[in-house]
């Protein structure tokens, strides 16, 4: 069984199905939960799933990390550095937006006293 | 051997994420979300991307979960 | 579990329908994934050897896509500004319990080690995995440890503002100097020999820019963390 799981097509199947399942778990949490903090946790889980999908599809077991050191100088066998640079930026920006949303939640709680989205109906009159 | 390890870690991350969303208490949910970040650090390391693994370890499993915990203290839900 | 009590039947049938939708998307994704992915980074890896920097991801983030890093720093600055404006001022300390002796002493012992590790990761970003973002957030988490364990500790506001301003202005100034000498914004105007690959002073302006990014990110994250702890409590 170990040799069957080491083939490149099977690894791509595992990565695609796994990260899409994580994305839809996050979507389920976004649609059904009532507390605001749990909605933010679901959004962060969806972002993590997308990063795993990006980096996982570039995997091949003969490549090595894109850093030139003593014994590893063959440039043609390095991993791709462009998706890693983009995902680095995306992780930092996702964290910054999450912090801003959480501080908005704190201010709203100080103003009205509830954190459930069912009871937010100030604009319904 | 690598395919088996990837499969096991993926199943672990999916189970922990499902458990994090279903929990009724909020403090358990945040700690389990930290577990999702930790599992994804292991996966990034296996996929030969060390910079992304370091960034996700410091930001995802460090500062992001701590921001949630500090918000929990202000919302008085942890008492 | 409290999920089954709150979901009506219409929501459950909606999930079943979306399950069919999900399977269609997965089937399309798995059929059209090419066996050999096209790589955009092959030409960049050969160009990277001309800069004399060992870490290819650092060159892509700082030199080839340096303008995007400037935009990302701007987004972080706007987020920190929004958090600082929104949380209201509070004159009382919000940590009520007196921390015990072990936490007090342990934090004083651990903070210099954490700060040293953060500065190491920041400075050696072009030789090993690391860089400005990672090192800055490590220093900010050390500041968070000090904020939790000591009740009266506060990073002075003017100090953080000076650091942030200096880092942001010097990033743009270095880009403008590259524009005037080499006709390229953020051009590499310091000597970058390829025989120097692997030692600390190599790569021209790349380690300098990453250190500036690390200072700015570290001070901004410290400001965000301090605002979230010290402000925003009603009692």
The model's pLDDT over C19-61, given as tens digits with 9 standing for 90+, comes to: 777 777 777 777 776 666 667 777 777 777 777 888 889 988 9
Domain boundaries, chain B: 2-74
Q: Which residue has the tokens 């914004």?
A: C185
- CB distance from C140 to chain B under 8 Å? yes
Global pTM value: 0.88
Contacts of C137 in chain B (CB under 8 A): 58-59, 62-63
Query: What is residue C5's predicted lDDT score, i.e. its pLDDT?
Result: 58
How far, in Å, are A60, C60, C128, C170, C187 from residue C190 at the CA level? 37, 18, 21, 16, 9
**Closest-CA residue to C144 (of B70, B78, A104):** B70
The mean pLDDT value for C193-218 works out to 86
- CB distance from A14 to chain C under 8 Å? no
**Minimal Cβ distance to C68: which of A58, A89, A103:** A89
The mean pLDDT value for C140-146 works out to 93
For C64-83, how does the pLDDT look when each residue is reduced to its tens digit (9 = 90+)? Answer: 888 999 999 999 999 999 99
Contacts of B51 in chain A (CB under 8 A): 84, 88
Query: What is residue B78's predicted lDDT score, i.e. its pLDDT?
Result: 39
Tokens of C111: 């903070």
What spatial distance separates the first Cα and last Cα of chain A, rounded to whole Å? 63
CATH architecture of A2-62+77-119: Orthogonal Bundle (1.10)
Q: Rounded to an integer, what distance in angstroms lies between the CA atom of residue A49 and that of residue A46? A: 5
Please answer yes or no on whether A89 and C72 come within 8 Å at the CB atom. yes
Please answer yes or no on whether B43 and A56 come within 8 Å at the CB atom. yes
Q: Residues with Cβ < 8 Å from C170, sequence gap 6 or more? A: C212
- Give the neighbours of chain A: at least 3 Cβ pairs within 8 Å: B, C
CB C146 within 8 A of CB C129: no
Q: Is residue C210 part of a domain?
A: yes
Q: Flag whether pLDDT at C4 surpasses 60.
A: no
Q: Is residue C5 part of a domain?
A: no
Q: Residues with Cβ < 8 Å from A88, sequence gap 6 or more? A: B51, B52, B55, C57, C61, C133
**Closest-CA residue to C144 (of C216, C224, C73, C79):** C224
Q: Is C55 left (phi over 0), alpha (psi -120 to 50) or beta?
A: beta
Contacts of C42 in chain A (CB under 8 A): 76
Query: What is residue A70's predicted lDDT score, i.e. its pLDDT?
Result: 76
For B26-64, how does the pLDDT look when each residue is reduced to its tens digit (9 = 90+)? Answer: 999 999 999 999 999 999 999 999 999 999 999 998 899
Q: What is the mean pLDDT of chain C?
A: 84
Alpha-carbon gap: A84 to the closest alpha carbon of chain B (Å): 6
**Minimal Cβ distance to C137: which of B51, B63, B74:** B63
Please answer yes or no on whether A104 and C56 come within 8 Å at the CB atom. no
Query: What is residue C37's predicted lDDT score, i.e. its pLDDT?
Result: 64
Q: Flag whether pLDDT at C2 surpasses 60.
A: no
Q: Which residue of A has its CA nearest to B50?
A: A65
Query: What is residue A102's predicted lDDT score, i.e. its pLDDT?
Result: 93
- Give the per-residue SS3 of C122-168: HHCCCCCCCCHHHHHHHHHHHHHHHHHHCCCCCCCHHHHHHHHHHHH
Between C199 and B66, whose confidence is greater? B66
Judged by average pLDDT, the poorest of B47-51, C18-22, C87-91, C165-169 is C87-91
Q: Which residues of chain A have pLDDT under 50?
A: none
Domains identified in chain C, total number: 1
Q: Is residue C37 part of a domain?
A: no
The mean pLDDT value for B6-12 works out to 94
Tokens of C120: 């190491």
Q: Which residue has the tokens 């190491």?
A: C120
Mutate to test the interface with C, among B29, B45, B53, B63 (most CBs of C within 10 A): B63
Q: Is residue C8 part of a domain?
A: no
Q: Is residue C63 part of a domain?
A: yes
Q: Rounded to an integer, what distance in angstroms lies between the CA atom of residue C128 and that of residue C208? A: 16
Mutate to test the interface with B, among C130, C135, C218 (most CBs of B within 10 A): C130
Q: Is residue C47 part of a domain?
A: no
Number of neighbours of residue B35 by Cβ within 10 angstroms: 18
Bridge partner residues of A35 (DSSP): A116
- Give the neighbours of chain B: at least 3 Cβ pairs within 8 Å: A, C
Q: Compute φ and ψ for A49, nearest 5 degrees.
A: -65, -40
The interface predicted TM-score of the complex, written ipTM, equals 0.92
- Residue C203, domain extent: 54-230
CB B39 within 8 A of CB B12: yes
Q: Flag whether pLDDT at C1 surpasses 50.
A: no
CA atoms within 13 A of residue A81's CA, in its CB half-sphere: 29
Query: What is residue A46's predicted lDDT score, i.e. its pLDDT?
Result: 95
Q: What is the mean pLDDT of chain B?
A: 91
- CB distance from A85 to chain C under 8 Å? yes
Handedness of CA C68, C74, C79, C82 (dihedral sign): negative
Q: Rounded to an integer, what distance in angstroms lies between the CA atom of residue A7 and that of residue B54? A: 28
């Amino acid at each position: 069984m170990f040799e069957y799981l080491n083939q490149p097509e099977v690894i791509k199947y595992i990565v695609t199905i796994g990260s899409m399942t994580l994305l839809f778990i996050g979507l389920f949490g976004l649609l059904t939960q009532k507390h605001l903090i749990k909605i933010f946790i679901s959004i962060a889980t969806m972002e993590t799933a997308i990063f795993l999908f990006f980096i996982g599809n570039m995997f091949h077991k003969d490549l090595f990390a894109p850093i030139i050191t003593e014994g590893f100088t063959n440039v043609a066998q390095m991993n791709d550095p462009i998706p890693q640079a983009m995902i680095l930026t995306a992780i930092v920006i996702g964290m910054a937006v999450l912090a801003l949303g959480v501080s908005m939640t704190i201010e709203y709680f100080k103003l009205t006293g509830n954190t459930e989205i069912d009871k937010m109906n100030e604009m319904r009159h | 051997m690598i395919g088996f390890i990837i499969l096991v870690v993926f199943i672990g991350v999916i189970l922990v994420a499902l458990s994090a969303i279903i929990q009724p208490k909020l403090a358990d949910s945040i700690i389990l979300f930290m577990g999702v970040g930790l599992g994804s650090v292991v996966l990034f390391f296996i996929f030969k991307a060390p910079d992304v693994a370091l960034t996700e370890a410091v930001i995802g499993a460090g500062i992001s979960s701590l921001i949630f915990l500090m918000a929990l203290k202000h919302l008085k839900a942890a008492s | 579990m409290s999920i089954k009590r709150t979901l009506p039947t219409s929501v459950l049938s909606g999930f079943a329908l979306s399950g069919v939708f999900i399977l269609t998307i997965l089937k399309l994704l798995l059929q059209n994934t090419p066996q050999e992915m096209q790589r955009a980074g092959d030409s960049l890896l050969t160009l990277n050897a001309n800069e004399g920097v060992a870490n290819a991801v650092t060159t892509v983030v700082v030199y080839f896509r340096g303008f995007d890093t400037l935009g990302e720093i701007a987004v972080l600055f706007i987020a920190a500004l929004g958090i600082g404006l929104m949380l209201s001022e509070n004159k009382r300390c919000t940590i009520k319990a007196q921390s015990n002796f072990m936490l007090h002493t342990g934090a004083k012992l651990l903070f210099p080690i954490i700060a040293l590790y953060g500065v190491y990761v920041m400075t050696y970003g072009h030789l090993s995995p690391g860089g400005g973002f990672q090192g800055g957030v490590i220093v900010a988490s050390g500041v968070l440890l000090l904020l939790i364990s000591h009740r009266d500790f506060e990073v002075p506001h003017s100090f953080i503002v000076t650091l942030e301003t200096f880092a942001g202005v010097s990033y743009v100034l270095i880009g403008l100097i590259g524009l005037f000498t080499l006709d390229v914004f953020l051009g590499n105007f310091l000597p970058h020999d390829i025989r120097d690959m692997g030692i600390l002073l190599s790569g021209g302006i790349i380690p300098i820019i990453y250190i500036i990014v690390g200072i700015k990110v570290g001070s901004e994250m410290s400001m965000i963390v301090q605002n979230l702890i010290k402000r925003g409590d009603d009692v």
